[in-house]
Amino acid sequence: MIPEDLRYTAEHEWVAGDGSGPVRVGITHFAQDALGDIVFVQLPDEGTVVQAGDSLGEIESTKSVSEIYAPIAGTVVARNATLADEPEIINGEPYAAGWLVEIAPDDPDALDSLLDAAAYRALTES
């Protein structure tokens, strides 16, 4: 369950898009599986400026609370409002309806520094 067309971080976030416009960010199947049943998501407001590695919010599950990190620097231009009432969508559809935020990147080339599917797969299998 590691889509080939996405980029990834070592902190188990995924990024969809080529950087020419806003990119969509979420957590991976691996991350949601480790968290267990997700019961609450805290996301940044639209217009929030983030640096790569900054906290984007938190995901609370029946097991723990985990930070979400910005994979790239930019401005949050959208957040998935559905997650306020239905955070469990992340468990069922982490790469689709369970997306978290969209970020307009400061530097589109920053996506090149993220892991490709093969590198992320190697990380999760080690």
Closest by Cα among 98, 42, 35, 39 to 63: 35
In sequence order, what are the residues at sequence separation of 6 or more whose Cβ sits closer than 8 angstroms to the Cβ of residue 93? none
To which H or E segment does residue 30 belong? helix 29-35
Over range 51-76, report the average pLDDT: 97
Tell me which architecture the domain covering 8-125 has in CATH: Beta Barrel (2.40)
**Nearest 10 degrees: CA dihedral of 100, 80, 76, 117?**
30
Above 90 in pLDDT, residue 126? no
Task: State how far the Cα of 62 lies from the Cα of 26, in Å rounded to an integer.
Answer: 19
pLDDT at res. 13: 98
Question: What is the per-residue pLDDT across 107-119, written as a single tens digit (0 to 9) for each?
Answer: 999 999 999 999 9
DSSP 115: B
Domain boundaries, the chain: 8-125
Does this model's pTM top 0.95? Answer: yes
